[in-house]
Amino acid sequence: MSYRLSDEHEELRRTVAEFARTEVAPVIGDYYERAAFPYEIVAAMGRMGLFGLPFPEDVGGMGGDYLALCLALEELARVDSSVAITLEAAVSLGAMPIYRFGTPEQQATWLPRLCSGEALGAFGLTEPEGGSDAGATRTTARLDAGEWVINGTKSFITNSGTDITALVTVTAVTGQRPDGRPEISAIIVPAGTPGFTIGQRYSKVGWCASDTNELVFTDCRVPEANLLGERGRGYAQFLSILDEGRIAIAALAVGLAQGCVDECLRYVGQRVAFGREIGRYQAIQFKIADMAARVHTARLAYYDAAARLLAGQPFKKEAAIAKLVASHAAMDNARDATQIFGGYGFMNEYPVGRFYRDAKILEIGEGTSEIQRMVIARELGLPA
């Protein structure tokens, strides 16, 4: 029983760590301040094959696995969360549904460009009046003369409005099920389709160098063949995608939590107060020890969930636990790191200030902490 990484995974981890340190760290603060999308960094990540990590080579991927993606996300987020979430959303929300549920034609059309990072995919599930209650979809799609006609609005959609966004897969009500509940399906909408407009670009507290938009569909027509997966299975398909996405978000959160430890270890050896480096004070040491303990336990939690996923075992509960503890570790560590940095921690020019701003969304995005607890409770057999 061991969570020692294989030589290949370890080398990937080291490679991405070096990339993050050398190519991302020196420049990302500037993108963040300007709330600009880092096209150059995304292109370099594409050349490294990060966008194709968990996909087989025959669809344009790297032939790796989900753990490889998670390790890359952790190492990126150790330096910056905006680039990490751009990768996470592109792979697990943009490309994965097409890989998992797409027809051979849909895969051939989209996956090579998505895997190379030349194009980004997005997934539109959340609506202005439906976040955690994802089943309350109001967007509609009706068939008319061989085309889906889509109407509705989607909220907080990552990677949906960049210059290289190729498609958004949206969930929409396509009819009524025999039991009277809405029939929800997923439909691929290529960027630039008439009737598909990018609404407001949000002003966000964190993840400022990532792309997040509101999307508006007004009589937007796409071919009937753009249905992704089975009609009426849109919601169920998406839930299965979210299950594994939670492991990826946990990895990203662990990266942020580790980044806080890295920054503090550097800082407390330099900063002097009352005549000594602050790293000599027990109050500081205990804080950092707690931070390291949170990172370690959260990392083990996501490794375990990933190991189950790779072994083909049930992982729903473990993924929810990993996401819950890792996002809390990120939030707690960001708060402690900012405290250790004092006034400098409140300045955007220091990474910990960015970590603080980036941490909160981890307790919200891709399933809130409350949703994780609901999932865990259900898996424990408690009544719905």
Partner 1 sequence: MNIVVLVKQVPDTETERKLDPADSTVDRAASDGVINELDEYAIEEALRLKEKHGGEVTILTVGPEQATDSIRKALSMGADKAVHVCDDALAGSDALQTAYAIAQTLGTLEYDLVILGSESTDARTGVVGAALAEYLGLPQLTLANKVDVDGTSVKIQRQTDDGYQVVEATLPAVISVVEKINEPRYPSFKLIMAAKKKPVTKLSIAEAGIDADKVGLANATTQVVDFAPAPPRTAGTVVKDEGNGGVLIADFLASKKFV
Check binding of 116 to partner 1 (CB under 8 A): no
Told to check if 15 binds partner 1 by CB under 8 A, we report yes
Q: Is 48 in the site for partner 1 (CB under 8 A)?
A: yes
Residue 247: left (phi > 0), alpha (psi -120 to 50), or beta?
Answer: alpha
Query: With CB under 8 A as the contact rule, which of the stretches 10-18, 83-91, 145-153, 361-369 interacts with partner 1?
Result: 10-18
Q: Is 45 helix (H, G, I), strand (E, B) or coil?
A: helix
Of 115 and 298, which CB lies nearer to partner 1 in the complex structure?
115
Q: Minimal distance in Å, beta carbon 270 to partner 1?
A: 14
Amino acid identity for residue 51 in this structure: F
Q: Residue 203: how many CB atoms within 10 A of its CB?
A: 8
Q: Of 40-48, 183-191, 197-205, 328-336, which part binds partner 1 (CB under 8 A)? A: 40-48
Q: What is the 3-state secondary structure (H, E, C) of 64-78?
A: CCHHHHHHHHHHHHC
Residue 57 binds partner 1 (CB under 8 A): yes
Burial label, 35 (beta-carbon count in 10 A; 0-12, 13-18, 19+): middle
Q: How many residues bind partner 1 (CB under 8 A)?
A: 17
| Binding residue (CB under 8 A) for partner 1 from 32, 38, 42, 64 | 64
26 binds partner 1 (CB under 8 A): no
Among 34, 47, 142, 276, binds partner 1 (CB under 8 A): 47
Q: How many CA atoms lie within 13 A of 330 on its CB side?
A: 32
Interface with partner 1, residue 19, by CB under 8 A: yes
Query: Which residues, including other chains, have CB under 8 Å from residue 63's CB and lie 6 or more apart?
Result: 55, 56, 57
Site for partner 1 contains 53 (CB under 8 A): yes
- Is 343 exposed, middle or buried, given 0-12, 13-18 or 19+ CB atoms closer than 10 A? exposed
Nearer to partner 1, 73 or 141 (CB): 73
* Residues with catalytic roles: 366
Q: Quickly tell me which residue has 């405290």 as its tokens.
A: 339
Closer CB to partner 1, 115 or 329, in the complex: 115
In the complex with partner 1, the residue whose CB is nearer, 49 or 97, is 49
Interaction of residue 18 with partner 1, rule CB under 8 A? yes
Task: With contacts defined by CB under 8 A, name the span among 27-35, 59-67, 265-273, 287-295 that binds partner 1.
Answer: 59-67
What is the smallest separation between the CB atom of 159 and partner 1, expressed in angstroms? 21
* C-alpha span between 154 and 264 (Å, rounded): 39
Strand (E) or helix (H) holding 362: none
Query: On the CB side of 174, how many CA atoms lie within 13 Å of its CA?
Result: 21
Binding site for partner 1 (CB under 8 A): 7-8, 11-12, 15, 18-19, 44, 47-49, 53, 57, 62-64, 68
